[in-house]
Structure 1
Amino acid sequence: MCTGMDPSHYCLGDASKEIRLFDLVSANEQEPAQGRIRRAIIGDAPPFAAVSHVWGDKSRDRSIRLESDSSALIRLLSLRYGWLKGSRLPLWVDMICINQMDVAEKALQIPLMREIYSQASSVIIWINEKDNRIGQAFRYLRHLIANKTTTETADIWPLFDPDGWEGLKYLLDCSWFHRRWVLQEFAVSKDAAFLCGSDVMSIDDLFSGIDMAASVLIARPRKFKILHPAHTGSLRPAPALRELRKHYAEPDYHVYSLLGLCSSEEVAGNPIRYDLEPEEVYKTFVATHARLYNNLEFLGLCTAAQRDSVCSGSMDKSVSRLFAGPSWVPNWHSERLQRCLGLNDYGTNLKFFNASDRVPMAALFRHNELEVSGVRLDRILSIGRFCRLERRHELTDPNSRLFQEYFDFWTRVAAAERIMPYRDKKHLAETIARTLSLLGIYLNPMPLLADIPDMFCRWCRGSNLGRQLTEYGLKPKNATNLEGERVFMGMRRLTAWEPFITESGYIGLARGNSRVGDEIWLVGGCSVPLLLSPQTGDSVGFKVNGEVFFDGFMFGEAMRMDEFGDTSVQQITLV
C-alpha cells in the first residue's frame, strides 16, 4: 500500500499490524529536518514517542530529508525540532507515518490509534501558538498548583489573576482543544505533556491547574464579580474537553475519531469505509450501538432541526448538501445536534429516567427503516413558540415576562379547552415547577425529586411567577431556608425546548420544530418519551422528532398505572 507515497517511505507489509516510526537525525530552524522512516509491528515496536498535533497551513511547510531524498512531505506546524533534538526516541506522527494519499491504508491504520498512543513511552502534545498569553497561562497554572494546599473558599479567591485568566482562555481556544481526535490521544497515554515553544507542562498539572482556576473564579466575592465581568468571558474551562467544537470537513470522522476509545466489538462493528456516504456510516454506527448495548437512546437526538446539512465527498472536494438519512439516524455532523436527556455519561451505566419501563426492547434494522416496539401516550394539541434564543437572558429572572408566558400558556389553554388531567391546581403548579426545571437533571449536585418544587418556589419567591404559584397552592415548606436561591439560574437550556399541551391536557416540553398532531410514544430501549410524526397513509410509519420531557411519564408510570388508559405494546416503523 504505497499509493501516492514517496519512494523513501517504507511500504507496510500489513497495514493492520505494522506502523512506521520516524527517527529524527538532525534539525534546526534554517535547514530541512533530516530523518529516517522504518517499520515496526505494533505489538513489538521499540520505545517511541507519539506526537499529538493540529495540521498546519501550507505557508509553514517544512521539508524532511529522508536518507537520500528530499521532499515536502508534511506540514510540520506541529513540531518544535529544537526541543525534540535531544530525544533519542523515534517519533510517531500521523502526517509522516500514515500515507495520507492512500485511503485503504488509512482505513487500516486508524483502528490502531488506541494501541499507538497507549504503547507510546510518552505523548507530546504540541500547541503551535506563538503568543505571550499562552506563556502567561502556563505561569498562572504553575502558581495555582504551587498554592493548591489552600482549599478554603475564603483563602483561594485572592489567587485569581485577570491576566492569567485571559491567558487560560486563549490557551483553551487553541485548535488542539477543538479536535475530537484528542480524546483518545491523551486519554489512553501513559505519560502526556503539553509543549508550547520551549515551555512544557504535564497533562496532569494542566488539568489540575484548570480545575483550580475554575474554583478560584467561582470563589470570588460577589462585588469582585460585578466589578470585573469582562475577565470571565463565556468560557467554562472545566468541561473544555467534553464540550469540544467538532468542525470537520469529513463528517465520517465524527465516528472514526472516537474508535480509539471504544471496545474491540465497537471497532469491529464500525469498519472504516471512506467510500461510503456519511449517512451510511452513521446508520452502521447506531445499529452497532443498539446491538451491543441493547438500547435506542440515540433516538432522543433525532430532532428535525439537526437534519439540516452534511458534507459529502473528500476533504479537498467536499460539498454541503441536505442530510438524506432516515429520521432515526442522528446527523453527527450537524451543529444543531443537542445534548440528549436519555444518553448516559461516558463510562457509566447509570440511567436517570426509565420512561419505557416494561416496554420490550425490539430493533429490526431494514435499510432505511427501523422497526421498534412502543406505547402511544398522547397527541400534541397546542405548542408555544415564545421561548426564542434571543430571550434566553430572561430565564435568569423569575420576574421576567417569559416565565409569565409559560404560566399563562399552560394554565389558560387547558382552561379554554376544558381539559384538566391534574387532580387540583396545586398538582398543576408542582408539574409546572418540575417541568421548567427539567427535574433538576442539569443541576450539580442533582436534588431529590421531592425537593424540586420547594426549591423552585423559593427561587422565584417575591416574583409574579412566585405569587401565581402561591395562589395555586404551591408554597415553600421552609420560608427561611435560602437553599436553591441560585440553583435555577442555569435554566437557559429551556430555549432548546418548546412548551406544549396534549389533547388530554398534560403539559410538557418538546424539542424545536415540533408540530401539532405529533404523537408522544414510549419506545422500548429509550429511557425518555419520544415525539413521533405519523406519516400520511401509513398507520404504522413515523418520523422521529426527538425526545420529550413529560412530567408524570418519565419513570415508567404509564406502564404501572391504569389511569393512563390503553398501554398495549405496538410494533411501529420509524422511517
Structure 2
Amino acid sequence: MLPFNDPTVEIRVLRFEEVPVDDSTPLRCSLQNVSLDDRGPRPDIDCFGREVDGRDATIEGTPAETVVHDVPTQNSGCRFAWGDFQTLSYTWGQETSSSETIFINGKESRIPHGLAIALRALACQPETQLGMHYWVDSLCINQNDTLEKNQQVKRMGDIYRKARAVIVWLGPQESGDERAIAKMRQLCQVTPKTSQHPPSQYVYPDAWDELYAFMRKTYWSRTWIIQELAMNHNATLFLCGTIKLTRRMVLMAAVYCQQISRRFKDDLPVVADDDSPELQVWALSSRMHRLVSVSTGSPRRRTLDKLLNLIRRADATDMRDKVYGILGLLDDTVAARIVPDYELSVRQVYVNFAMTLIDTSKRLETIIFGGLSQDDTWPTWVPDWRVQFNRDHVRYLKQARACGDNMIASLEFKGEEQLLLTCSGDNVDTLTRVGATPNRPINKPNEIPRVDRYKERSAIALWRTLLLDDIYKRDEYMEDEPPLLEVPWVEPPDPSDASSPSSTKSEWDQVLRSSNYRDFHEFRQANYDFPIGERNLEDFFPHSVPQARLFGSRRQLVRATLSIKNRTLAVTTSGYLCLVPDAAQEGDILVILAGCRCPMILRPRGSFYAVVGECYAHGLMEGEFYKSGQNCKQRDEFTLC
C-alpha cells in the first residue's frame, strides 16, 4: 500500500475492475489514495442519485417522492473530483483458515471467505457499474502499520459521515430470511411514513420464528456497527444475501417485535434459551431499534447513555475497540482527549476513557457501571466494558437526585497510572444487615436493634424499594394497597401440571405459573425473615390467593423481577431500607457523592474505598439528606481504588 501524503484528509478507496462472472472467478479490484477535500467540479450533479436515493422506495414497495436526477453515466458529476464512495459495514468475525484469493492492484491477496462474499455482493450493485468506490476498513487501512491504524481509526467517524451511504452486509441468506423480510416490507407498506407504529390489526406474531432468528444474526452484536450506522443515515442499504432491506424496514421490525412482546407476554411462541422469552425478545429488539435509530443529532446525555449500554452488550475482536469504535459519536470535548493507541493495554484504555468522561462532565455517574472485579488490578471505579452489566433499571436510578444541588464533583486522579480517584461526599450510614442471594444464604448476625424508621409507611417503603421506585404515575393512587404486595406468598404450581389450557385458568393462576413469579418467590423465601421495621418480609404479603382481580400486580411483578436481579435487600444502622448489589456485605458504607445522582455502596480498604455499586435507599433518593440539615458537618473525602 502506498503511504498517505496527508493522513488528516486522505483515505484509500476500493474499486472493482470487473464484475465476476461467477463465484469461481477471482475478484479484481484496485486501491487508490484519495482526498476527502478534493471536491468535484459539479458536486450539485450526482450521477449516483438515481441508484442510491431512490432505492428505499423501490425496496419497500412504497410510493417514492419525486426526485429528478441526471441520466447516470460515468461522465456525470460527482461529489469528489475522483468520484464517490460508500462504506461497507460487516462482521469481521474470527480469523479462520477459510480464505479466498483476490487481486488488488494486480497482486494476489488472501482475504477471509466471509469478506469475499460481501465484496461479491458489492460488485453486483448497479452503482458499482457506474464507478462507485467503496471504503472497507480491513482493506483500506494498513492493518500492519500501527501508526496508520491509530490515525485512521480516529478518523472513522468522519469517513462514515462523508460517505455517500452505508451498505450493511448481514451475511448470506439463511432459511427464514425471505419470510421475515417480507413481513418487514408489509409493515412499511401499511404504516404511514410519519409513524413508527404499525396499525394494531397487523400486530400479531406472523413470521415470528423467522423474525426472532433475524434479530439474533451475528451482525447486530458487533461493536463497530454502532458508529457505522449512526454516522450516516443517508440511503442505508442492508444486504442479506441477494435480498435488500432499508433502515426503515429494520426499524419497523424492531418496533413490531416490541409490540408483540408487550401484547403476548408469557405466550410468546419462541423457544428461547431460558423460560423468559418476553425479556429476551425485548432485549434483542431494543438493541436492534437503538442501533438503527441512534444518531449524532441526539441530545448529548441521552446519546452517551445509549452508547454505553450498546457497547457493554457488543462483541469485539479487540476489546480496545469498545472505546475506539464510538469515538465519532462522542462529544467533541471527550473525543478530542482520546487518541487511539493500540500499544496500550485494555485496562489503560478503559481507565483513560473513564477519566475523560468524569473529568469533562465533572459528574460521577460513570462509576455506577464499575464495581468489584475478579481482577484485583482493575480499579473498581472504572467500568469494565468487556463484561455485561448484570443489573437492570440503572438508567432509572440515574434520574434520581440523591446528591441534591451538589451536581458538580470535586475530584482528583492520583497514584501510579492515576488509578485512584479522590472525590467528596457524605458518609450516610453503615450496612448492618444484608439479605440472601442465590449464591449466599441469608447471613444472620448477632441480633441487632430494629429501627422502625418508616413506621406506618413501612409497606410503602418496601413496595418502592423492591421496584427501585420505578412507579408509573397511574400507580401512585395505589399507595394504600400496593399491587406488588398483593402477590401471594404461596408455592408456585407444578410446571408439569397441564391439567387445563392456560386460556381457561384464572389470571392469578397464570401469574403463579410464570417464571417471573418463581424468581420473585425464590427471592422472598430466601429473605423471609429480613427485618423491615418491626416486621419481617413475609409479613407484608398475603398467604392465600386474593379474590380480587390483578390490577397492576402482573406489571409490577415483572418490574420487581428486573429490579431484584443480582441485587438484595439491606438495612443500615439508622434503619434505611436499601436494594443493593448482591456483592454488598455487612460493614459496607452507604454514601452520597457530589456529582452522582444515586447513593453508592463503598467498602473500606485501609485508607481507600472500593466501589461495590449503586444503591436504592428509600428516603434518600431526592436530596432528603440535605434538606433535613444532616449535612452540617464538613464534607467527607473518599479515595476510590
When normalised by structure 1's length, the TM-score is 0.79
The structure-2 alpha-carbon separation of the partners of 1:90 and 1:554, relative to structure 1 and needing over 3 Å to count, comes to same
Partner Cα separation in structure 2 for residue 14 and residue 323 of structure 1 = 43
Q: Give the match for residue 376 of structure 1.
A: 427
Partner Cα separation in structure 2 for residue 379 and residue 480 of structure 1 = 41
SS in 2 for 1:517: coil
Q: Give the match for residue 312 of structure 1.
A: none
Q: Give the match for residue 618 of structure 2.
A: 551
Instruction: Identify the match of residue 467 of structure 2 among 418, 437, 452.
Output: 437
Q: Give the match for residue 30 of structure 2.
A: 36
Give the stretch that moved more between structures: 109-118 or 481-490. 481-490
Residue by residue, what CA displacement relative to the aligned partner does 1:527-549 show, whole Å, maximum 9, x if unpaired?
1111111123x2xx212111111
Deviation at 1:240, TM superposition (A): 2.3
The yes-or-no answer on 1:160 pairing with 2:205 is: yes
Partner Cα separation in structure 1 for residue 330 and residue 166 of structure 2 = 20
Deviation at 1:283, TM superposition (A): 1.6
1:280-429 aligned at under 5 Å gives the runs 280-304=348-372, 307-308=373-374, 322=375, 324-336=377-389, 338=391, 341=394, 352-359=399-406, 361-366=409-414, 367-387=418-438, 417-424=448-455, 426-429=456-459
SS in 1 for 2:187: helix
Q: Give the match for residue 174 of structure 1.
A: 217
Instruction: Identify the match of residue 492 of structure 1 among 549, 561, 566.
Output: 561
Q: Give the match for residue 4 of structure 1.
A: none
Partner Cα separation in structure 2 for residue 152 and residue 50 of structure 1 = 31
SS in 2 for 1:107: helix
Partner Cα separation in structure 2 for residue 134 and residue 371 of structure 1 = 53
The structure-2 alpha-carbon separation of the partners of 1:290 and 1:487, relative to structure 1 and needing over 3 Å to count, comes to same
Deviation at 1:386, TM superposition (A): 3.6
Q: Give the match for residue 118 of structure 2.
A: 79
The structure-2 alpha-carbon separation of the partners of 1:102 and 1:558, relative to structure 1 and needing over 3 Å to count, comes to same
Partner Cα separation in structure 1 for residue 215 and residue 267 of structure 2 = 24
1:264-279 aligned at under 5 Å gives the runs 264-279=332-347
Partner Cα separation in structure 2 for residue 264 and residue 205 of structure 1 = 32
Instruction: Identify the match of residue 486 of structure 2 among 461, 468, 489.
Output: 461
The amino acid of 1:355's aligned partner reads A
The amino acid of 1:263's aligned partner reads D
Partner Cα separation in structure 2 for residue 467 and residue 339 of structure 1 = 24
Contact 1:145 1:209 in 2 (8 A): no
SS in 2 for 1:51: strand
Partner Cα separation in structure 2 for residue 19 and residue 487 of structure 1 = 53
Residue by residue, what CA displacement relative to the aligned partner does 1:11-37 show, whole Å, maximum 9, x if unpaired?
212333311000111242112111111
Q: Give the match for residue 209 of structure 1.
A: 253
Q: Give the match for residue 348 of structure 1.
A: none
Deviation at 1:39, TM superposition (A): 1.1
**Cα RMSD, aligned residues only:** 3.2
The structure-2 alpha-carbon separation of the partners of 1:78 and 1:543, relative to structure 1 and needing over 3 Å to count, comes to farther
Contact 2:598 2:616 in 1 (8 A): yes
Contact 2:26 2:103 in 1 (8 A): yes
Residue by residue, what CA displacement relative to the aligned partner does 1:519-566 show, whole Å, maximum 9, x if unpaired?
111111111111111123x2xx2121111111111111101103x476
Deviation at 1:488, TM superposition (A): 3.2
The yes-or-no answer on 1:482 pairing with 2:474 is: no
SS in 1 for 2:464: helix
Contact 2:121 2:241 in 1 (8 A): no
Residue by residue, what CA displacement relative to the aligned partner does 1:328-378 show, whole Å, maximum 9, x if unpaired?
21222123564573689xxxxxx6211111445201111222111110100
The structure-2 alpha-carbon separation of the partners of 1:292 and 1:452, relative to structure 1 and needing over 3 Å to count, comes to farther
Partner Cα separation in structure 2 for residue 374 and residue 219 of structure 1 = 45
The amino acid of 1:368's aligned partner reads L
SS in 1 for 2:2: coil
Contact 1:531 1:545 in 2 (8 A): yes
The amino acid of 1:422's aligned partner reads R
Q: Give the match for residue 511 of structure 1.
A: 581
1:114-125 aligned at under 5 Å gives the runs 114-125=157-168
Contact 1:420 1:504 in 2 (8 A): yes
Contact 2:88 2:166 in 1 (8 A): yes
The amino acid of 1:497's aligned partner reads R
Segments of 5+ residues of structure 1 without an aligned counterpart are 1-8, 309-321, 345-350, 390-401
Q: Give the match for residue 143 of structure 1.
A: 186
Partner Cα separation in structure 2 for residue 205 and residue 353 of structure 1 = 36
The amino acid of 1:548's aligned partner reads C
Segments of 5+ residues of structure 2 without an aligned counterpart are 39-79, 291-308, 490-523, 525-536
Partner Cα separation in structure 2 for residue 452 and residue 259 of structure 1 = 46
Contact 1:543 1:574 in 2 (8 A): yes
Instruction: Identify the match of residue 99 of structure 2 among 25, 40, 61.
Output: 61
The yes-or-no answer on 1:51 pairing with 2:88 is: yes
Give the stretch that moved more between structures: 37-46 or 70-79. 70-79
When normalised by structure 2's length, the TM-score is 0.72
Q: Give the match for residue 317 of structure 1.
A: none
The structure-2 alpha-carbon separation of the partners of 1:417 and 1:557, relative to structure 1 and needing over 3 Å to count, comes to same
Partner Cα separation in structure 2 for residue 78 and residue 110 of structure 1 = 24
The structure-2 alpha-carbon separation of the partners of 1:132 and 1:59, relative to structure 1 and needing over 3 Å to count, comes to farther
Q: Give the match for residue 399 of structure 1.
A: none
Deviation at 1:467, TM superposition (A): 9.4
Q: Give the match for residue 13 of structure 1.
A: 5
Deviation at 1:251, TM superposition (A): 2.1
Partner Cα separation in structure 2 for residue 104 and residue 371 of structure 1 = 34
Deviation at 1:388, TM superposition (A): 5.8
The structure-2 alpha-carbon separation of the partners of 1:210 and 1:152, relative to structure 1 and needing over 3 Å to count, comes to closer
Count of matched residue positions in the alignment of Structure 1 and Structure 2 = 504
Deviation at 1:77, TM superposition (A): 4.5
Q: Give the match for residue 473 of structure 2.
A: 447
Contact 1:435 1:509 in 2 (8 A): yes
Partner Cα separation in structure 1 for residue 165 and residue 487 of structure 2 = 58
SS in 2 for 1:235: helix
Deviation at 1:281, TM superposition (A): 1.2
Partner Cα separation in structure 2 for residue 522 and residue 173 of structure 1 = 40
Residue by residue, what CA displacement relative to the aligned partner does 1:28-84 show, whole Å, maximum 9, x if unpaired?
211211111111223435421110001255444232212332222565246152553
Partner Cα separation in structure 2 for residue 219 and residue 300 of structure 1 = 33
Deviation at 1:264, TM superposition (A): 2.4
Residue by residue, what CA displacement relative to the aligned partner does 1:424-472 show, whole Å, maximum 9, x if unpaired?
2x2111110110011017xxxx4378457457x224426249994489x
The amino acid of 1:447's aligned partner reads K
Partner Cα separation in structure 1 for residue 401 and residue 86 of structure 2 = 46
Q: Give the match for residue 319 of structure 1.
A: none
The amino acid of 1:92's aligned partner reads W
The amino acid of 2:281's aligned partner reads L
Partner Cα separation in structure 2 for residue 452 and residue 519 of structure 1 = 33
Instruction: Identify the match of residue 193 of structure 1 among 237, 247, 263.
Output: 237
Deviation at 1:286, TM superposition (A): 1.4
